[in-house]
């Protein structure tokens, strides 16, 4: 298998990652037991990039986005936006050439040629449903396929529809499509969300920028990605205040213009690698990471006994052989512990010295990783929305697979500490949200490589 040279031996294979989304049948092969030491550069946030790209539909001018991660989801959204007539130019670089600094996208929605987002495209990526908001705000109409269920739960769009209705859109649902009409434009209104929703908040925010009058969004999501999108919209001429708090106020304007914006660092990628280091042991600097974006997760890691130190360059994570203490954690909207790190924390707690409890409060069915972690030797019991994890002395490598992005990466984390070889199948889930995953880990000494058939 060629691990004799450790990380160096694993590197040549990982060239394939430069082409995000390619090789959907690829697998990741990991041999556990190596510590991680070095620097991992944190990429731009996937969950900010996607709504930022969608916000480009709000203006005829060009929106320039820097620090864009090279991910399959970004490529897919580029195709979906292309269907509406949006041009996306990736500035002057060939794939993989600009290393750790992300890519620059020039996005121009000068002419919208089609206000329909078809099922074939929306069903591939849920967030693409959000195009409904800028399309109806700018064009007065949008016909967007309902996204349908997905691996982590039913995930309805009722609150997005409610927000658009509050802003004056007429909504019909026909043959699986949401048809939103506002021929004379949207008007400001009060949107009160009964539960915190990131997708609902993005929708209300984008729609309100071009509505006549003032919109107040109550119980808004406070996730940093909402603040990043609001910052960009303000650079485009929007008048938004309060983003990052639970009350956002938007004064509508008649049009938006072009702008340049750099995507904030990915807090979920940061937390994922922090847990990988905690699992494998070692000493790693997560470069460009910002601690305030994931303080709750860093606090949990500190409670497990891992040393987490903010530095001028990012966050340093260090564990030198000490036992991991078990924790009790419930996922919650920001600033709480993120659901997108729940699977990774569970992987880590499989090796804690004691019993942990993790409760998932955001999605009703986000435990697909449990059965796969059990295949690696973990002791986990599920009771409704709570997992009880009894730490074990050792995990043992096995072939595994998972049906969503964060579940897949939790298996990578477990594999780093498992004896022998683990093969993670269905790598395309990882390519959706982790840029150059195996390269970043291999550079710190992990025995990890991509295998193509
Ligand atoms: C975003 O999904 C993220 N996706 C998710 O990340 C993340 O897990 C989630 O927020 C929570 O933080 C992107 O940003 C692209 P929600 P979103 O609307 O916006 C319910 C990842 O791995 N709800 O905050 O779809 C919903 O079912 C992904 O990167 C309604 O009931 O999440 C859920 O229980 C996965 N009605 C809760 O609200 C609605 O109309 C929160 O969902 C909308 C949502």
Q: Assess whether the C-beta atom of 406 lies below 6 angstroms from ligand 1.
A: yes
Q: Assess whether the C-beta atom of 231 lies below 6 angstroms from ligand 1.
A: no
Distance of CA 9 to the CA centre of its chain: 30
| Active site residues per annotation | 150
Judge residue 4's burial from the number of C-beta atoms within 10 Å of its C-beta, 0-12 exposed, 13-18 middle, 19 or more buried.
exposed
Model pLDDT, residue 181: 98
Residue recorded with tokens 């919109």: 215
Q: Assess whether the C-beta atom of 197 lies below 6 angstroms from ligand 1.
A: yes
Model pLDDT, residue 153: 65
Phi, psi of 22 (to 5 degrees): -75, 155
Three-class SS state of 171: strand
Q: What are the residue ranges in the chain where pLDDT is below 50?
A: 1-21, 95-96, 98
Model pLDDT, residue 55: 98
Three-class SS state of 294: coil
Which residue from 191, 198, 266 has its CB within 8 A of the most atoms of ligand 1, so it is best to mutate?
A: 198
Integer Rg of the chain from CA: 22
Q: How far is the CA of 332 from the centre of ligand 1 (A)?
A: 12
Judge residue 284's burial from the number of C-beta atoms within 10 Å of its C-beta, 0-12 exposed, 13-18 middle, 19 or more buried.
buried
Which residue from 150, 151, 153, 155 has its CB within 8 A of the most atoms of ligand 1, so it is best to mutate?
A: 155
Q: How far is the CA of 89 from the centre of ligand 1 (A)?
A: 29
Length of the chain: 453
Angle (CA) 431 199 155, round 5°: 75
Report pLDDT digits (tens) over 8-53.
Answer: 333 333 333 344 445 667 899 999 999 999 999 999 999 999 999 9
Which residues, including other chains, have CB under 8 Å from residue 46's CB and lie 6 or more apart? 69, 71, 73, 74, 266, 268, 269, 432, 433
Report pLDDT digits (tens) over 244-273.
Answer: 999 999 999 999 999 999 999 999 999 999
Which residues, including other chains, have CB under 8 Å from residue 427's CB and lie 6 or more apart? 23, 24, 26, 27, 28, 408, 450
Q: How far is the CA of 153 from the centre of ligand 1 (A)?
A: 10
What is the token pair recorded at 121? Answer: 């495209």
Q: Which residue is closest in CA terms to ligand 1's atom 10?
A: 198
DSSP percent split of the chain into helix, strand, coil, nearest 5: 35, 30, 35
């Amino acid at each position: 298998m060629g691990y004799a040279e450790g990380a160096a031996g694993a590197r040549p294979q990982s060239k394939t990652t430069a082409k995000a989304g390619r090789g959907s049948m690829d697998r990741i092969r990991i041999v556990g037991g190596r510590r991680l030491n070095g620097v991992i550069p944190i990429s731009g946030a996937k969950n900010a990039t996607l709504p930022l790209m969608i916000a480009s539909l709000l203006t005829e001018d060009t929106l320039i986005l820097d620090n864009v991660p090279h991910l399959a989801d970004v490529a897919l959204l580029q195709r979906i936006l292309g269907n509406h007539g949006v041009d996306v130019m990736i500035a002057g670089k060939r794939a993989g050439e600009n290393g750790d600094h992300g890519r620059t996208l020039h996005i121009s929605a000068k002419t919208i040629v089609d206000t329909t987002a078809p099922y074939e495209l929306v069903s591939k990526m849920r967030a693409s449903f959000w195009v409904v908001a800028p399309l109806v705000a700018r064009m007065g109409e949008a016909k967007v396929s309902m996204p349908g269920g997905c691996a982590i739960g039913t995930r309805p769009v009722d609150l997005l529809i409610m927000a658009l209705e509050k802003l004056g859109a007429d909504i019909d649902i026909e043959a699986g499509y949401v048809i939103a009409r506002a021929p004379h434009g949207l008007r400001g209104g009060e949107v009160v969300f009964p539960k915190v929703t990131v997708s609902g908040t993005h929708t209300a925010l984008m729609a309100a920028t071009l509505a006549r009058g003032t919109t107040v969004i109550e119980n808004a999501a406070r996730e940093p990605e909402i603040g990043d999108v609001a910052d960009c919209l303000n650079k485009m001429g929007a008048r938004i205040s309060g983003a990052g708090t639970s009350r956002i106020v938007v004064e509508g304007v008649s049009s938006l213009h072009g702008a340049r914006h750099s995507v904030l660092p990915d807090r979920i990628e940061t937390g994922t690698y922090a847990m990988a280091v905690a699992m494998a042991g070692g000493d790693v600097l997560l470069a460009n990471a910002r601690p305030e974006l994931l303080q709750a997760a860093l606090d949990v890691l500190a409670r497990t006994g891992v040393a987490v130190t903010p530095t001028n360059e990012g966050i340093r994570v260090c564990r030198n052989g000490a036992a991991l203490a078990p924790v009790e954690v419930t996922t919650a909207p920001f600033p709480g512990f993120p659901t997108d790190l729940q699977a990774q924390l569970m992987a880590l707690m499989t090796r804690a010295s004691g019993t942990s409890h993790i409760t998932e409060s955001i999605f009703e069915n986000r435990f697909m990783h449990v059965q796969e972690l059990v295949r690696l030797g973990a002791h986990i019991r599920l009771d409704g929305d709570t997992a009880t994890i009894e730490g074990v002395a050792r995990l043992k490598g096995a072939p595994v697979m998972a049906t969503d992005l964060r579940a897949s990466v939790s298996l990578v984390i477990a594999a780093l500490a498992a004896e022998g070889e683990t093969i993670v199948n269905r790598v395309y889930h990882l390519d959706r949200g982790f840029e150059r995953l195996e390269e970043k880990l291999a550079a710190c000494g992990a025995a990890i490589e991509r295998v193509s058939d």
